[in-house]
Structure 1
Amino acid sequence: MRSINQVGDRIELYPEDISFTLAFSALDFINADTLRYAYRLSDFESGWRYTDSKSKLATYTNLDPGRYRFTVKAINKENKWSSNEAQIEIVIIPPWWDMPIWRALILLTIVALISTMLWLRFRTLQLRSQELSVLVDKRTEDLNRAVEKLTLLSTEDALTGLKNRRYFSQRATEAWNQFFRYKHTFSLILIDIDLFKTINDTHGHGVGDTVLIDVAKILTENVRVNDIVARWGGEEFLILLPALNVQEAYWVADKLRKKVAEHPIKVQGKQVPVSITCGVAEIKHYESVEACIQAVDKKLYEGKALGRNTVVN
């Protein structure tokens, strides 16, 4: 048997070498035909395999990539084993994709692909979220506009654009609370358009509507920004004047009376005279807003009885 266990003695096989056979023979015995052999492939076989001189071959197939050491020894008919064992290293080279560097590259590629897919998914969700956010903002803005419009409709008189009775009552309640807690006074002016029914009957309801609109405009243009002018009902208007006493409210009412009288309504080339009568009261003389409104209403009718186009406080 020829020993080839020197350093560097090895066989390299590739993945396509699915089967290989090793032939061996003993050189240090005579009568070779009577010899027996034992061999094994370390890291593959746990025990020895035995054969005789007629079959001095070892065949292996489909070994996993790795390093193996093939060892063979001989024994003669006196059962004396040879002191020389023949060894050879067998290296099964893994396929390119099974090598560490390629495994690392494949792993990195997979990680990169997964990361890219996750980033694209995240980016898609982010863009979708931004689109939804813009849509929600737009819907919210539309909803706010709708709410504002509904709020405006619920607090505004459709014909004149003045605040309606409901809104005035809310603000008057707030003013009463301020007066009750902190003695912040306020006054009310109740206004009625004189002979409004006659204007409607004589010139038609269209002209009557024009009179209401023009009077409302004169009232709002000649009071303070924080004063509240409301259409109380029909041809009546109610004004809340924060911080004004009854004498100051009287001056405001008389100013409004004069402004209305100075602006007759033009109908088909003709001027229709318009006048108003006002009742004035200050909250400090009454126990509630309702009582104050009843008072200005009474004073208004006193003014009507005095001949209209006047102010009564």
Structure 2
Amino acid sequence: MPDSPRRITLATVAASAGVSVATVSKVLNGRSDVAPATRSLVQSLLQQHDYVAPAPRRGETTGIATVEVQFDADLNAYSTEIIQGAVAAGAEAGVGVVVSLRKGADRSTGWARGLVTAGRRALIAVTSELTSRHLAAVSRARLPLVLIDPLNLPRTRVTSIGSTNFAGGLAATHHLLSLGHRRIAYIGGPATAACNQARLHGYRAAMESEGAPVPPGYALSGHFRYHDGVANGAAVLDLPQAPTAIFAGSDETALGVMEAARARGLRIPDDLSVVGFDDTQIAQMASPPLTTVRQPLREMGGVALRTALRLAAGEKVDSHHVELATELIVRGSTAPVPRV
């Protein structure tokens, strides 16, 4: 077996910079009593050497262990459910949860190493777009990683948590078909997102099984956000042959669709039926309450946290991808197709 690479120490970095170990330690700890030029040189060498702070020794008291839950976009109702599940699981395990917002472009070459230096035991990235460079940085830092609903599919094998998105898309569309609708549109999230692709495929499979056509302009992508629902909802409702029902890829998107419908004088569900996806709190607070596909978001957050801790402990996981079951929840936003 080849020898493992020698760990770079503070002394190594200090010697390269021509400064003391204490100075390097001050830079790592964000102390202000270091000259700017010296700080810049030390930080550059830390990145060059891929320095990773050593793990605490067994029995050493360093405070509560932490896991970082990182998002790529502003937090919303979906994010809140994930966080609550992770926090609850962390409390049971005696682990703290740190929530951060870091978009892809904000992940510099030293971002993963910085998380380890800050004492993070593992990283959970939610709806993130991680490139091969990001994944390589996580691997070099030996930071356990779990993804929830990634926006892209990494080529390397990464542990991920999701739900039965295809089955959810199938159930949502079959529900509308069972009410007599045939002109059904789909307004989803990012075209490259695995969860969106699965929901779209479920929608198309249900439509095909009933011989219902999907005309041009009936399947649109966005960002799972309210304003995308408004804009894309307006686009499909302004088609020469508008849909009588819309399946939205998220609850937030669905509320945007409902607003676009109201702006055109359409009543829900009398004139237009709408189905969402997620079953966040806003689905129940919508007017009328939103028919939606329930994702077990809190459970997803909890499973991700426990899986991350298993990886951090050096344990093997049973599967690199876990899908939790979805369920259709029927409320007041869907009704039989209106009579012409």
TM-score by length of 1: 0.21
TM-score by length of 2: 0.20
Q: Choose between structure 1 and 2 for higher RCO, CA contacts under 8 A separated by at least 6 residues.
A: 2
The answer to which structure has the higher strand fraction is 1
Larger Rg: 1
